[in-house]
Amino acid sequence: MTSIADEARLVFDNFTDRTASIFNPHLRLGVTGLSRAGKTVFITALVHNLLSGGRLPLFRAQANGRILGADLQEQPDDAVPRFQYEDHIRRIVEERVWPESTRAISELRLTIAFESAEAWRRMLPGGKLTLDIVDYPGEWLLDLPLIDKDFATFSAEALERARLPSRQKEAGPFLAKLATIDLDAPADEVTARDLSVLFADYLKACRADTAALSTLPPGRFLMPGDLDGSPALTFAPLPVEKGKTYPKGSMAAHLSRRYEAYKTVVVKPFFRNHFARLDRQILLIDALQAINAGPEAVSDLETALTDILACFRPGRSSWLGSFLTRRIDRILVAATKADHLHRESHRRLEAIVRVMVDDAVARAKFSGAKTEVLAMAAVRATREATVKDDGEDLPVIVGIPAAGETIGERIFDGQSETAVFPGDLPDDPRRLFDPVDGVAAGSLRFVRFRPPKLQHSPEGLTLSLPHIRLDRALEFLLGDRLQ
């Protein structure tokens, strides 16, 4: 995926990082996920609970009273935007609205002071762990496999997906325009731009709630940021023949060159400067949205997981080897929005994601890193209750749906609390992949709830943000570094 020069730079960067870690233990945690999976909320809740000493009974260092304190530190990289924790926590706690989604990469540095779990080490001064949290859009991960693919291979795969029956509606305008393109004709910038816009519109339509598809590279077409309108983003797949040489200046040659520029300008710098320097990774997925969209979306999410896992540089490095090359040794795949289900369905949700991950691991020939699966809600927006329905107890969740959310013909105003029975997940996860016997699209009832109002202790203290299994996530990602 990288050149010799890229690898040499990675070795230098890792040697520098590891040398500094001898005197100051350091961990780089990557946080990513596909659209609307809750990356910003997860990071905000993680930092909030560490800074405020939140309720984290399964995070052993915190539960045992060994966390002495946590503090935000100066931004570690002057070239990367800071994760605006203060703005995000204010929106969640004071305004009770969810923060904006991740649009670009950002970082935040946190120092955790702790007391060792081993008696003989407690005779020494307390330890400190520097935690760098790297937040980036999951769509960018799906770009990494493009590094090893030429334009013909990328085009063949992209057009094969676009012609699937489940994507015909979204891809129709793009495919109609594509049918008018003469590959050997002189390149026309207006035509190239129109084609790329239609291709981007098709990808965005596939990402919408009703389709909830996940395998949608190139990722910057969904989140262009400051590259919007640049030549590197003005291309689209074409029905080119592999191995054929097209005339210089032709439409095929022009868009092929733009595709190569995209890899050089966008994909490789992200891999080299950020992705290849991670130690741990959490991948957040909105499995419920895919389940509710039907078997096609569930299978597509599994394909996306396969592509993502194939990108990681997994494995456990030796102490000396870690100075030269970095390997992600722990990956957590977390199904978010567990608070949209009653706890009776949480194990089923975890089982569903476990099947996806296990299949993706096998397909990606992935090995070396420790992986775990979790159903969680970084901020719990609902509570559980039971209501009577035809004489039977029905498990429901209770919360305040966001303004504009609907169930049937009811439109919520953002102020009224309601009880929702979201539906049942199947006992057999494999049913979700079956287009005949699977869960019908739209059979589950999901609405977006407002963040909760913080509770107060009997002494009048404001309690930390409630969550579901955030402590388990922290234990898996950080626990061994706080011994």
* pLDDT of the residue at 20: 52
Residue 280, phi-psi category: left (phi > 0), alpha (psi -120 to 50), beta (remainder):
beta
How much is the average pLDDT of 330-358? 93
Residue 280 above 60 pLDDT?
Answer: yes
* Stronger pLDDT, 235 or 433, i.e. the higher one: 235
- pLDDT, tens digit (0-9, with 9 covering 90-100), for 158-176: 999 999 888 889 999 999 9
| Angle subtended by helix axes 189-207 and 251-262, to nearest 10 | 50
Lowest-pLDDT range of 51-65, 142-156, 354-368: 354-368
Q: Where does the pLDDT of residue 261 fall: very low under 50, low under 70, confident under 90, or very high at 90 and above? A: very high
Q: Is residue 326 predicted with pLDDT exceeding 90?
A: no
> How high is the pLDDT of residue 316?
45
Over residues 292-313, the mean pLDDT reads 83
State the pLDDT confidence band at 7, using cuts at 50, 70 and 90.
low
pLDDT mean over 48-75: 94
Name which CATH class applies to 4-136+274-379+469-482.
Answer: alpha beta
Q: What is the pLDDT of residues 390-417, one digit of tens each?
A: 778 888 999 999 999 888 788 999 999 9
The string over 226-254, giving b where at least 16 C-beta atoms fall within 10 Å of a residue's C-beta and e elsewhere, is eeeebbbbbbbbbebeeeeebeeebbbbb
Query: What confidence score (pLDDT) does residue 321 get?
Result: 37
Which residues fall within 8 angstroms of residue 9, CB to CB, at 6 or more apart?
272
Q: Say if CB 302 and CB 360 are below 8 A apart.
A: yes
318: pLDDT confidence band, cut at 50, 70 and 90?
A: very low
Q: CA 228, CA 363: separation in Å to the nearest integer? A: 34
Q: What digits encode the pLDDT tens for the residues 432-448?
A: 887 766 666 667 778 89
Other C-beta atoms within 10 Å of 13: how many?
Answer: 15
Cβ atoms of 335 and 446 within 8 Å: the answer is no
pLDDT above 60: residue 57: yes
341 with 422: CB under 8 angstroms?
yes
Q: Where in the chain is the domain with CATH 3.40.50.300?
A: 4-136+274-379+469-482
For the beta carbon of residue 78, count every other beta carbon within 10 angstroms.
Answer: 7
Q: Are 432 and 295 in contact (CB under 8 A)?
A: yes
pLDDT computed for residue 123 by the predictor: 46
- Taking the C-alpha atoms of residue 477 and residue 311, their distance in angstroms, rounded to an integer, is 19
Share of the chain above pLDDT 90, in %: 52
Length of the chain measured in residues? 483
Could you give the CA distance from residue 267 to residue 272 in angstroms, rounded to a whole number? 9
| 3-state SS record for the chain | CCCHHHHHHHHHHHHHHHHHHCCCCEEEEEEEECCCCCHHHHHHHHHHHHHHCCCCCCCHHHHCCCEEEEEECCCCCCCCCECCHHHHHHHHHHHCCCCCCCCCCEEEEEEEEECCCCHHHHHCCCEEEEEEEEECCHHHHCCHHHHHCCHHHHHHHHHHHHCCHHHHHHHHHHHHHHCCCCCCCECCHHHHHHHHHHHHHHHHHHHCCCCCCCCCCCHHHCCCHHHCCCHHHCCCCCCCCCCCCCCCCEHHHHHHHHHHHHHHHHHHHHHHHCHHHCCEEEEEECHHHHHHHCHHHHHHHHHHHHHHHHHCCECCCCCCHHHCCCCECEEEEEECCHHHCCHHHHHHHHHHHHHHHHHHHHHHCCCCCEEEEEECECCCCCEEEEEEECCEEEEEEEECECCCCEECCEECCCCCCEEECCCCCCCCHHHHHCCCCCCCCCCCCCCCECCCCCCECCCCCECCCCCECHHHHHHHHHHHHHC
Alpha-carbon Rg for the chain, nearest whole angstrom, is 24
Using one digit for the tens of pLDDT, what is the confidence trace for 452-474? 988 766 655 567 899 999 999 99
CA dihedral sign, ordered 459, 470, 107, 138:
negative
pLDDT-based confidence at residue 317 (cuts at 50, 70, 90): very low
pLDDT tens string 179-226: 999 999 999 999 999 999 999 999 999 988 677 788 888 988 988 877
> pLDDT, tens digit, for every residue of 12-48?
555 555 555 545 789 999 999 877 789 999 999 999 9
Band the pLDDT of 9: cuts 50, 70, 90: low
Cα–Cα dist 334/284, whole Å: 5
Tell me, what amino acid is at 398?
V
Mean pLDDT of all residues in 341-367: 88
Tell whether the model's pLDDT for residue 324 goes beyond 80: no
Mean pLDDT, the chain, as a whole number?
Answer: 86
